[in-house]
Structures are given as C-alpha cells and as structure tokens.
Amino acid sequence: MMFEAEFWANQMGKLWASHADALDRQLEPAGIAGLEALKPQRGEKILDLGCGSGSTTVKICEAVGSGGMVTGIDISEDQLAIARSRAGNERADFLLGDAQSWPFEPETFDALYSRFGCMFFEDANAAYANLQSALRPDARVALVAWRELSLNPWAAIPAAVGVEILGPAKPSQAGTPGPFAWGEPSVFRPILEGAGFRKVSWSEVRIVLQIGEQTPDDPVKRGLDMLMRVGPLARRLRESSDDERGAVASRLAPKLKTFVKEGWVRIPGRIWVIQAQK
C-alpha cells in the first residue's frame, strides 16, 4: 500500500497541480477561516504547512508585508512549481520535503498555519514535535482540518454512491493518515498537547464548496468530473472498470443536480479551525 506521503509526492500531487485553480477556489472558504484565526501580522515569519500550490502562502505574504517572510513546505514538486510562480516575490520561500523530519532551524517561526496539510503524517507525534521545535516561544498555531466524512456531503454523497456500485470501502481507523483523520478532537488534541502545544482549542466552521473547473460545460458535468478525480470516491475509482465508472456517474449526477446554484455545484462542508500556542 502506498503511504500518504508517497501518494501526495507523486500521483496526487500531479493531479492537484493540474486542477490547482479549481481546487483552490473550492477550498478558499476554508483557507480564509484559518487565516482569520491566525491573524498574521506585519513583519512576522510564518510557516505554511502543506502549502500545495501556494494560494494561502500568497495571502500570508500580503499580510506580513515587506518586513515579513513566509515559508511554504510541501512534498509535491508539481504543486510547488505553481506556488513559486504564484508567489513571485522575495517574501516567500518554498521547501520540498516532509515536515515530519525536515531539519528546521530551532525557534524560527512566529506562527504555524495549515489548510488541510495537517492530517497526513505517518507519525503525527513525531511531526508535531518537530514543528513545535521550529516555532518561537508563544508562537501561534492555526490548522484547518475536515470534520468527519459523514458531516461533509461533498465527500459523503460520492462515497455513498461508491458503496452502492463498488461495494463497501475498506474501513480505516481513526487517526490513520488521510483527509478525515482529524475529524474527532480526541485524535488531534493529544497529538498537539503531547508535542508541547498549549491552549489547544477548536471551533466548527460551516462552508460551501464550489465544485468544478471554470468551463462552459453544464455545472453537473463539471462537478461530476471533479468529484470523480479528487476525493474519497476518486481513490476507489482508480481501480474500477469503465462500466463501474459509468454506473457511478449515472447514479451521482442527479444527486449533484440538487446542489446547483448560480451556475455551480455548491455543496456544504464542515471543518475544524484548530488553534494552539507554543
């Protein structure tokens, strides 16, 4: 079985890079919620964990200004190539590697931020101990993670269709690396507190995800194309036959139609905005 890090460094990183604009638009409400919690300040040095194609890095650069610095770290070279071109300034630098073991300079950053890059570590305890050591005393933390799959219709509905057509998916244990690994506070709280973080808190934010590429196609087709490429259903479809994919599309399309509004498939989601302090 391919580990999450290897998966994101290779095929998933390439896939996300090829849909960078659409996926950043889809996740923008979550990123904004995290940045509102972080409150980046002028002149600060901030670490953007799992920065992907750099859309959040660019926003943090704008907030810290000419006297600040933002370091984005990700394991996907394909996404970092886009991030570098988007940033295009001296206030951002990018690291290709795994934050779990990256040799950060101790007490370098004033804050740690992540939009959905926080729950994929093979050894989360080691990762957050390493990240904690890279932060200055009293540094702030703002992490965005998905709540449980069942509370996120954008993923739960396609996943349910997958079960109808492909049969039950292999169950995963709570805390296993993946997009919904931090759905329960009982998973992430002990990880953060065990790494030495203080004042760990979390709040639910409800968002709406705008699904699909910005093309002239019908919104249901655009949404369907994206959800069959990215997300829990997409992973299962990589091993499926053309007939199975066709059956999934036929079953999922009418469900997506109920979410069409103003020319887009817009589906609700729920996230945690997790805050802490070193």
Would you state the structure tokens that stand for residue 161, as one six-digit string? 């269709």
pLDDT at 1: 35
Domain ranges in the chain are: 4-277
Q: Say yes or no to pLDDT of 4 above 90.
A: no
Average pLDDT over residues 262-273: 97
**DSSP alpha helix (H) spans, 136-231:** 153-166, 185-194, 219-227
Residues 212, 210: Cα–Cα separation, whole Å = 7
Q: With beta carbons less than 8 A apart as the criterion, state whether 272 and 204 touch.
A: yes
pTM of the full predicted structure? 0.93
Q: With beta carbons less than 8 A apart as the criterion, state whether 41 and 65 touch.
A: no
Q: How far is CA 94 from CA 60, 75, 84, 182, 244, in A?
A: 13, 10, 7, 25, 40
Q: With beta carbons less than 8 A apart as the criterion, state whether 276 and 197 touch.
A: yes
The percentage of the chain sitting over the pLDDT mark of 90, rounded to a whole number, equals 81
pLDDT at 253: 97
Element (H, E) at 35: helix 20-38
Question: Which of the listed CATH numbers 3.40.50.150, 2.102.10.10, 3.90.1310.10, 3.50.50.60 matches domain 4-277?
Answer: 3.40.50.150
pLDDT per residue as tens digits for the range 38-91: 999 999 999 999 999 999 999 999 999 999 999 999 999 999 999 999 998 778
